[in-house]
Chains A and B, each alone.
Chain A
C-alpha cells in the first residue's frame, strides 16, 4: 500500500525534524526520510501533536534541507524480519544486512520493542550453566534465563571473558544453542575479535551479529540492542533454542540515550541522564528468561565499562538494580596478571541460590561458596592489618588468612583462557582452600559438611 509522502520540514535541530500538522501519524512509528540527493535514512516519531510531529532521525540530520527532504511514514514501529535463516548472519545497528547476503527472505516482521512477559508465564530459572570458570561456577553461578552483566573498565579483559563464557557454556548446551551478539558503539577491533574468536571455536554457525561500530551513527544505538533481543526471543521462544545474548557496551547505549534526551530538552536526572533511564534499561534487561511450557531460554550477558571504574555511576548502578547480579572485574587483580580478574566480593548472582546444591550442582555447593566469600572477605581485613603492622606482627589466624587469600587468587580465581573446569573440580579446590583455615573460622558450613570434607586429600 502506497503511503503519502510529505515534502519539506519546518525545523531541523540536532537529530530531530519538526513537521507541521500531519494527521494519522502514530507515536513511535518508523519513518523513512529521503534527502534531496536521494539517499534514504530512517527515523521514528517521538512526539505527535495537533500542531507538530517530531521525528528523530537515526543516522543524523546532516545534509538535510528544509525544502528538499521527503518523508514517508510507515504506519508501523521499527521491525525486524525473523526467520531461521537469520542464524549465521551479520546485520548493522538498524538491522540491515551487513554481510552482503541480501535481505532475510520469508521472515515474519516483529516489533523490536517487544512486550513484557507475564510473570505468570515465566518459569523461574534454575538450570545451572557450566561456564567452566571456577570463580563463576562456584561463586557467581550463571543460570539459564538469567541476566548477568559484566561490570568492567576500559582495558580490562571483559571481551575475552565473554567469549570464554560463550564458548564453554556452549559445550554443555549441546545442539540448540545460539549466540546473539549486539555490538553497540564498539571499536572495529573488538567486533573483529568477537567474530573471529567465536567462529574459531565453532560458533560461527549459530551466531547472529548486530554491529553498530563506534563510527556508526550514535542514534542508531538506541535500536541495536532491541533488534538483537527481538532476534533472540524469536530463536528462543519460537525455535526453542537456548540463546546467550551478549550486549556490549551498554555504556555507549546509555550515552546515546542521554544525547537524545538532552537534544529534546528534557529535564535531566543524575549526571544528565534522563529520568527514565531505569525504565529504558529495564525494557531491555527484562527481556531474558524462560517461558513455562517452552523449550528455549534467553540468557543475557550485557557488558558495560564503568566510567572511571565507578560502580555508583548511574549506568552500572541502575543496571545492578535491574539485573540478577553482576560480575565485577578488578583492575587490581588484572594488574597482578590474574585472569579472569573477577572480584568475588563485589560480584553476585541472585539466581544462584536456587540453582545450586542438592539436585542441581553438588550438595555442599551453598556452604562452600558462602565460606569462601566469608574467608576472602576476612582476608581483606587481615591484609589491611598486615599492611599497617607488617606481616610478621599479625597473629596466627590472620597469617593463615593471608596464605588462603594468595592461594585463592592464584589457583582458584586464576585459570587459563581455554581451561574448562568441572564444577566438582572447582568445589574440591574450594574445600582444599577452606581447610587451610582453623576449624573455628569455618562458620558458614554445617558441622556435618565439616566432618565430611575437611582433612580430605588435596586435589590436583
Chain B
C-alpha cells in the first residue's frame, strides 16, 4: 500500500524518508501527496533526511517521496532581469497568477516563461568553430541589457546550425554544435545550473576599479572595488536595508541581484514598486530592467531561505560569465546563518558556537569566495561584488556570524547605533569601518575624478580621527577650555559629518556622483586649511564660526551636481570672507 519510497517521520522542516537507495545526495525530491519540494541532505542506508522547501503541515507517515533526478537548480536565460523569484527560483508573478495573493504549497510553475519571444541576433555563422564561453547569439533582454547566449562549458566544435537573427522563443534551440566525436549538441536559449555548484572561470584578477555607489561615505572614505566583498553589520533600525537599497539603486553595476533573505515582505514590495520608476543615472532607463530580486521573506519556509543565497549567486555568476559587472546584495546573511542553525538543530548535529553548526565559517567562505573579478571561460572580464548585510543580535559585533564574516570580507561598513539614533544616515561609523580596497582603487579615482583624491581622503580621515579624541574631552569639560586649533578641528569635523558624510536616501541627494562628493570635500578641507592659518596667527575662532557661508557649506550637498559654478562660487566667497577676517584681525597686529 505504501509507495516504494515513503515518509517515515516528520519534524517541522525535516522529513525522514525510507527506500531512497536510488536517489542521490542533494537530489531535489517531491514529498507527499501534495508534491512538496525538498532536498536530500543526509543518507543513511535505506533512509534519507530531507530538508523541506515548503511547509510540512498535514504531511503523514507513509506518503510517497519521489526523486526528480537532479539537484536543486535554477533555469538561466532571458527573462530573469526585471523579475522577482522565491528562494528556489520560482517566479512570484507565476505563483500570483496560479494561486492568488497567498503562497500555497506544492505548486509547480515554470521558472522562466519559455513561450515568450525575444529579439535575437546571431553572432556566429554555420561552419564557425566555437569553444566554451564563446558568444553565439545576443538576446535583447531589456534596452539596458544584452543577454549573451554562450557556448556551454562542456561543448565545443563546429557550428552546424545557428538561429537566424530576428525573433526566437525561450524554448528554441539557438545553435547546434558538432563536437569532436561527431556528436551533435543542441544549445538552447535557457539552461539549468545546480545552485550549489560555482560556475567555472578562467582566471581571477585583482580588483582595481571601484564600484561607484554614489554614496559619499562609501566612495569617499570606504570604497568597494568591482569584484570586492563588503559586509554591513548593524543592529535593527541602523539602516542596513536602506543602505542596501541605495547600493542596488545607484551602484554602477550592469546587473544587480538583490536577495531578500528572511526579511520583510513589504521591503520587497517597496523595491518592486520603486525600481521601475527610478532611472539609472547613467543610462536613463528604469532600474528594474537590470535588477533581479530574490524574495524569501521571514515567514516563508526556512530551508528555502538557506537556498536563496545560492540561487542568487548562481544567477550573478551567469551574468558575470557574459562579461558584466554584477553587484549582489544579500539582506541578511544572518538570517541565512540562522536557517543553517535551525536545520542543523533539527538534524540533531552537534552545535558549535551559540548553536550554529561547526561548518558555518566554511559555508560563509564558500559564499563570499564566489565573488571576484575574473577572466571568464570566454575570455571576457566580468565581476561579482557581494555586499552582505549582517544582523548581529543586540548589535553585538562579536557574535559568530559577524566575527566569521569579517574573516572573509575586505570592506567593513559598521553601522553605528548612536549615529542612527541621531538620524545621521547612512550611519556608517568612520571609526570602526575599513576598506582594504581604498589603496587599490585610488589610482582610478585620481585618474577619473581628481589627482588629489587620495590626499583629501587621508586629510578628512585624520580630522575625523582627531576629532574623536577632542569630542571625548569636550564631553568631559566642555568646549571653551580647548585651544582654538582643536576647536577648529571640531568645527571642521562637524562640517564633514553634517555636510559631507550625511546623505539622504530620498530626494535629489540620494545619488551623489564622485565628482560632486569630491567638490564638497574639497570645499570643506580648503576652508579648514585657510582657517587653520588664521587661527594659528591668533584669529579668534568665533569670527570664523559665525561666517554666514558656513551654513551654506553644510547645505552645499543640495546644489545640483551639474551646477559646478555654484559650488565654485561658494568656495570663492568662503575664501574671500576668510581673507577679510584675516586682514581685519591679523594684519593690524602684524603692522604693530
Contacts and interface: CB of A to CB of B under 8 A. Distances in A.
A48 B9 contact: yes
Contacts of A389: 477-478
Contact of B295 (A29, A119, A292, A446): A119
B466 interface: no
Contacts of A403: none
A120 B93 contact: yes
B265 A116 contact: yes
B234 to A, nearest CB: 11
Contact of B475 (A145, A270, A381): A381
A121 B268 CA distance: 11
A117 interface: yes
Judged by DSSP, the binding face of B is: mixed
B60 A24 contact: yes
B298 A115 contact: no
B103 A117 contact: yes
B132 to A, nearest CB: 36
B483 interface: no
A398 B84 CA distance: 51
A354 B270 contact: yes
B8 A49 contact: yes
Given A121-B100, A278-B298, A374-B423, A322 B8 contact: no
B480 A439 contact: no
B367 interface: no
Nearest to A113: B57
B269 A326 contact: no
Interface string B543-569: 001100011101100100000000000
Nearest to A25: B60
Interface string A272-315: 00011011001101110101101000000000000000001010
B423 A377 contact: yes
Given A283-B299, A395-B480, A348 B237 contact: yes
A324 B266 contact: yes
B58 A115 contact: no
A345 B417 CA distance: 10
Interface residues of B, number: 83
Interface string B99-120: 1111110000000000000000
B355 A115 contact: no
B395 A312 contact: yes
B345 A275 contact: yes
Interface stretch (A64-72, A122-130, A252-260, A333-341): A122-130
B58 A28 contact: yes
A240 interface: no
A106 to B, nearest CB: 23
B417 to A, nearest CB: 9
B264 A385 contact: no
Interface string B453-486: 0000000000000000000001111111000000
Interface in A430-451: 439-440, 443-444, 446-447
A266 interface: yes
B358 interface: no
B296 to A, nearest CB: 10
Nearest to B273: A124
B61 interface: yes
Of B10, B56, B237, B338, most A-chain CB atoms within 10 Å: B237
A146 B270 CA distance: 13
B35 to A, nearest CB: 16
A377 B269 contact: no
Contact of A26 (B58, B480, B505): B58
A378 interface: yes
A321 interface: yes
Interface in B288-317: 295, 297-300, 302
B264 to A, nearest CB: 7
Nearest to A319: B236
B59 interface: yes
Contacts of B439: none
Interface string A365-379: 010001001100110
Interface in B255-281: 260, 262, 264-266, 268-270, 272-274
A101 interface: no
A457 B180 CA distance: 87
A322 B422 contact: no
Nearest to A76: B58
A292 B93 CA distance: 13
B101 A26 contact: no
Given A278-B298, A393-B478, 5 more contacts: A124-B269, A270-B393, A294-B101, A395-B480, A447-B552
Interface of B: 8-12, 16, 55-62, 84, 92-93, 95-96, 99-104, 235-237, 260, 262, 264-266, 268-270, 272-274, 295, 297-300, 302, 335, 338, 341-342, 345, 351, 354-355, 391, 393-396, 418, 421-424, 474-480, 498-499, 502, 505-506, 545-546, 550-552, 554-555, 558
Interface of A: 23-29, 47-50, 76-77, 111, 113-125, 145-146, 237, 266-270, 275-276, 278-279, 282-283, 285-287, 289, 291-292, 294, 312, 314, 317-318, 320-322, 324-326, 345-346, 348, 350-351, 353-354, 366, 370, 373-374, 377-378, 381, 384-385, 388-389, 393-395, 398, 439-440, 443-444, 446-447
26 contacts: A24-B60, A116-B102, A116-B297, A117-B103, A118-B92, A118-B101, A120-B93, A121-B100, A123-B269, A124-B269, A124-B273, A267-B351, A268-B355, A278-B298, A279-B299, A286-B264, A289-B266, A294-B101, A318-B393, A321-B391, A348-B237, A377-B422, A381-B475, A443-B498, A443-B499, A444-B423
